[in-house]
Amino acid sequence: MTPPPHEDRPPLAGSLEWGDPRRAGRRLPDTQQGMRRRNLSRVMHAVREEGPLSRAAVASRIGLTRAAVSTLVDELIRSGLLEELGPERPSRVGRPGSALAVSGSGPCGIGAEVGVDHLAVCAVDLRGEVRARAVRHGTNRGRASGPVLRELTALIRQVAAESEREGLSPAGLAVAVPGLVARDARTVVRAPNLGWHDTDLGPLLPDDLPLTVDNEANFGGLAELWLNEAAPRDFVHVSAEIGIGGAVVVDGRLLRGTRGFAGELGHVPVRPEGPACVCGGRGCLEQYAGEEAVLRAAGLEPVGNRVGLLAERAAQGDKDVRRALRGAGTALGVALTGAVNLLDPQAVVLGGALSDLAPWLLPALERELARRSAGPVCAVSVSRLGPQGPLLGAAHSVVRAVLDDPATVGGAA
C-alpha cells in the first residue's frame, strides 16, 4: 500500500501529533519492520481495551491470521507486556486458559509534576493503575531549578524503587511544568511563576530513563482525552495552579503550535489596557482569573493552600470571595468566547485547580459565553480528574508510548 499523496510529506514543526506528546507521535516507518511494530501495538491496544481476550479473539479483532497473532503475542509475553491468565481465572472467553491480559508487572510510566506549591511523582502500570506515589508540599516560587529538581529526583527514585518492589520496571519519565516548553521536550523556555527560563531539565533529572518534559496544561488535556471516556475529541482544556494554562485538542490530538507554545489561554487579552502581565502584555486573562488576581480581588493574603482557602470561603458564603470568583468567571468567559470563535470546539473543560472552584466560576463563565454567542453555546464541563490531571497525564504519556510502540521495550525494536 502506498500513502495518499498528501500524507507522505515529512512532519513539520507545528504539526499535530498522536497520543503521547512527543514519542508515540511519530508514525512508524512503512517497512516490514514498521508493519511488525504496528501490529504489536494493535495487539496491545486490543487486549488493553477489550481484554482479557484469547489469541483467536485478538486475531479476529485486528484482522490478522491466528498464526501471525500468536507470533506477536509470544513476543509480547517474552517482553513482559502481556501475560496469560491461568485456567482457573474466570474470564469472558470460552477457553480461560488461553486468555491474554495486559501485564500488571511489566513496564510502567513515571509521571512527575513541578508545581509552584508542590512536587509530585507517580507510577502508572500498563493497565492504567497508579501503583506508587509521592508528594512534597512547599513553595518552589523563586527557587533555582537545581535544588527543586534534586528534591524531585529523590521523589522519582523513591517511586521508581517502590514500583520495582511491585515487580514493575520504569520505561520512561515525563515531567509536567507550569511553563512553556521547547519542542525538544526538555527545555523550559519560560516558567514565570517559578522564575525559570531557558532551563534544560535533562542534566538535572535521572539519566537512566527516557525523558519528556511538557507543559502541565498539555498533560492535563491529554489526561482528559485518555482517561475520560466521555471526553469529546475536540475541546479546549483550561487548567490553573497559579497561572492559567490551556490545551487545545483537535480531532483527538493535542495542538502544539510552531514552537510548542499553543494553548496559552492565560495570555489572551481580556481588556487591552488592563494590568501589566508577566508575559509583557496587558490585561491578559491571568490578570483577572489567575489565583493571585482572585485572592487580591477578594482581599485575601496569598499564603498556604490558596485554592483550598478560596473554595472554603466561597462555600461559607463569603461575599468578597464569591464576587472575586464571579469576576474571574466573567474574564474566563470573555477569553473563551475568543477561543470558541477561533476553534469551534465541542466543549470547554475546566481542569486543574479550577475544577475545585467550578461551582462559583461556572455561572458567570457560562453567562458570558451565552450572551456573546448568537448560535448554540459551547458546552462547559468540569474535569473529574481535578488537580491530579497533569500528573496522571504525564505518567500515562509514557504508558501510551509503550502501547503505541511495544517494540521499544524488551530490546525487540
Q: Which is nearer to its own copies, 14 or 97 (CB)?
A: 14
With b for 16 or more beta-carbon neighbours within 10 A and e for fewer, the 246-270 pattern comes to: bbbbeeebbbbbeebbbbbbbbbbb
User: Residue 43 or residue 155: which is nearer to its own copies going by CB?
Assistant: 43
What DSSP element (H or E) covers 43? helix 32-50
Q: Which is nearer to its own copies, 50 or 312 (CB)?
A: 50
Shortest distance, CB of residue 272 to its own copies, whole angstroms?
5
- State the nearest-atom distance from the C-beta of 45 to its own copies, in Å: 4
User: Least Å distance between CB 258 and its own copies?
Assistant: 5
Lookup result for grid cell 481535578: 386
Please report how close the Cβ of residue 342 comes to its own copies at its closest, in angstroms: 6
Whether the Cβ atoms of residue 281 and residue 231 lie closer than 8 Å to each other: no
Give the DSSP H/E element, type plus range, for residue 191.
strand 187-191
- Closest to its own copies by CB, 139 vs 373, is 373
Q: Are 116 and 148 in contact (CB under 8 A)?
A: no
Q: For residues 170 and 333, which CB has a smaller minimum distance to its own copies in the complex?
A: 333
AA identity, residue 294: V
3-state secondary structure of 15: coil
Count of other CB atoms within 10 angstroms of residue 392:
25
CB of 268 vs its own copies, minimal distance in Å: 4
First-to-final CA distance of the chain: 22
CA dihedral 330, 336, 394, 411 (to 10 degrees): 180
Minimum gap (Å) between residue 187 Cβ and its own copies: 13
Q: Which is nearer to its own copies, 109 or 263 (CB)?
A: 263
